[in-house]
């Protein structure tokens, strides 16, 4: 029996770090994290958790690589991106399967994540244009002034489990295209996709050390935030951790962008197409089992919209199939971990105890052959009030709540008073209501008859309020985050003008 267990242990994969263009094995590793299969609940491997020495090695590798990569002409850097983009396309199915195996989301959802990440790589192909400065001729007699955008150095990305490919590409593609080196600290819960990306970068021709991966927990995060040779840090995760990252990184003199939690509202007016609204609401609430920072978690039904919206949404939930992510028939898969499942179940129980009406209860869902998987079926609460935990907290699971209000003004006030500000949406046939909503909603993204207002990659993305700390968005806007401006005033004049003790004037 012991021999069988030993062989089983040996068959499990071990994920280590990627430093200086190759897997990095730290001697005497004494800390590992488990990698679960969310569909079965079983441990499928382990991941090495970085020490301070590993972080130092990754940063040193990045710093050495930056000396060359940062001065490489942008058009030459972009040639690597063409290769990388083609490799992402060629290996899209493998990458999606790897995401599903460790995250649990459906293959279709995983493939969509890959497409969105690849779009940012395609935006980065325009780096020579996006990095252009300005030029002002003859600002004074014989004087020209122009601006440059120059890379920072070693940049860090700390990314969440729910998008193990898309978000690392959102950050790293722009940072690397701008001339920086990059250290990725992905979630230790689904680490393998990051290693796959590292291998593809290497195959594309990226010089060793420009893209490094360190796996770990708070030890690695704090080591990166404190590291004196790290110039900038990007983070996406929960609001408490985002605040920690922002404060600690800024205190050590770094440029920081940190994106936090969400409670995204979708306002439905009585004049909306209710079938369209119910379709959109079901898709946006339960896709990826609700584990999206842009998921719609709160429907705000105005006036007479409530009864019809709840009934039509209930009907659509009844047609959803919960199953393993690798099954093409599955609409939503398991949650990432058992502790995530227990957390979601506790919110459902307390919500029912608080007096919210549990219209659809997904707690009893079972997937045949995968009874130990981390599954929770779609849940729908009606008559939720703003004082309830269900409304106030980000649940991050397949739980949709409906809040009823009498007027559009009340709905808008609810959106504006929420402490989060990632995204919001409105469903209506009224151009006046839609325009007023887009102007007044206090969220970083707004959807009009679009449930998840996730912008295309050539726009920036970021929330407001407690959903963001820092001044810059990710995606295309991040070219400003990952570069520092320099303004040059030049004078080329013959013959020499001699000494002039006055101040330069434009007269």
Q: Give the residue numbers annotated as catalytic, written as ranges.
A: 293
Phi-psi region of 443 (alpha: psi -120 to 50; beta: other; left: phi over 0): beta
Residues 6+ apart with CB under 8 A from 468: 242, 257, 258, 259, 260, 421, 444, 462
Non-local (6+) Cβ contacts of 304 within 8 A are 270
Residue ranges in 325-374 assigned as alpha helix (H):
338-353
| Cα dist from 375 to 98, 365, 371, 379, whole Å | 19, 7, 9, 12
Cα gap 192→315, rounded to integer Å: 38
Nearest to 53 by CA among 21, 22, 19: 19
Comparing CA positions, the residue from 310, 294, 384 lying closest to residue 347 is 384
Residues 435 and 458: their CA atoms lie apart, in Å, by 23
Residues 118, 88 contacting (CB under 8 angstroms): yes
Q: List the 357-360 sheet strands across, edge first.
A: 357-360, 379-382, 399-405, 296-302, 264-268, 423-427, 445-448
Three-point CA angle 111, 334, 389, nearest 5°: 115
Beta strands 379-382; 357-360: pairing state: antiparallel
Distance (Å, rounded) from C-alpha 268 to C-alpha 448? 10
- In 411-463, where do the E strands start and end? 420-421, 423-427, 445-448, 460-461
């Amino acid at each position: 029996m012991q021999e069988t267990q030993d062989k089983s242990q040996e068959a499990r994969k071990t994920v280590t770090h990627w430093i200086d263009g190759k897997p990095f094995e730290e001697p005497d590793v004494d800390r590992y994290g488990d990698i679960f299969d969310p569909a079965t609940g079983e441990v499928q491997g382990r991941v090495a958790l970085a020490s301070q020495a590993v972080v130092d090695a990754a940063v040193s590798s990045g710093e050495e690589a930056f000396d060359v990569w940062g001065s490489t002409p942008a058009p030459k850097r972009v040639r690597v991106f063409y290769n990388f983009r083609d490799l992402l396309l060629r290996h899209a199915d493998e990458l999606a399967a790897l995401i599903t195996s460790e995250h649990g989301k459906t293959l279709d959802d995983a493939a969509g994540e890959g497409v969105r990440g690849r779009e940012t790589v395609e935006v980065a192909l325009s780096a020579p244009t996006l990095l252009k400065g300005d030029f002002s001729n003859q600002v004074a007699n014989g004087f020209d002034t122009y601006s440059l955008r120059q890379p920072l150095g070693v940049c860090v990305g700390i990314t969440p489990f729910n998008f193990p490919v898309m978000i690392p590409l959102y950050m790293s593609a722009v940072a690397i295209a701008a001339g920086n080196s990059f250290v990725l600290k992905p979630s230790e819960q689904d680490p393998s996709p990051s290693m796959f990306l590292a291998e593809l970068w290497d195959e594309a021709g990226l010089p060793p050390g420009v893209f490094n991966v360190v796996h770990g927990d708070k030890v690695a995060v704090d080591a990166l935030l404190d590291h004196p040779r790290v110039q900038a840090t990007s983070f996406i995760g929960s609001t408490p951790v985002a605040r920690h990252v922002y404060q600690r990184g800024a205190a050590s003199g770094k440029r920081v962008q940190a994106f936090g939690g969400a409670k995204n509202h979708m306002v439905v007016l009585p004049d909306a197409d209710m079938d369209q609204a119910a379709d959109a609401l079901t898709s946006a609430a339960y896709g990826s089992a609700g584990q999206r920072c842009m998921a719609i978690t709160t429907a705000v039904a105005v006036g007479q919209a409530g009864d019809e919206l709840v009934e039509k949404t209930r009907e659509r939930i009844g047609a959803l199939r919960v199953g393993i992510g690798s099954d093409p028939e599955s609409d939503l898969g398991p949650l990432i971990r058992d502790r995530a499942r227990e957390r979601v179940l506790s919110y459902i129980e307390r919500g029912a105890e608080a007096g919210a009406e549990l219209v659809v209860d997904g707690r009893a869902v079972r997937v045949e052959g995968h009874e130990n998987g981390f599954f929770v079926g779609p849940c729908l609460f009606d008559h939720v009030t703003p004082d309830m935990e269900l409304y106030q907290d980000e649940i991050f699971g397949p739980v949709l709540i409906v809040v009823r209000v009498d007027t559009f003004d009340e709905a808008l006030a609810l959106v504006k008073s929420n402490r989060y500000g990632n995204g919001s949406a409105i469903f209506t046939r009224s151009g006046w209501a839609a325009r007023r909503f887009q102007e007044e909603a206090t969220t970083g993204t707004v959807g009009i008859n679009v449930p998840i207002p996730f912008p295309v990659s050539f726009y920036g993305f970021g929330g407001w309020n407690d959903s963001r700390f820092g001044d810059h968005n990710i995606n295309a806007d991040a070219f400003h985050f990952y570069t520092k401006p320099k303004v040059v005033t030049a004078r080329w004049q013959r013959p020499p003008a001699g000494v002039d003790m006055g101040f330069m004037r434009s007269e």
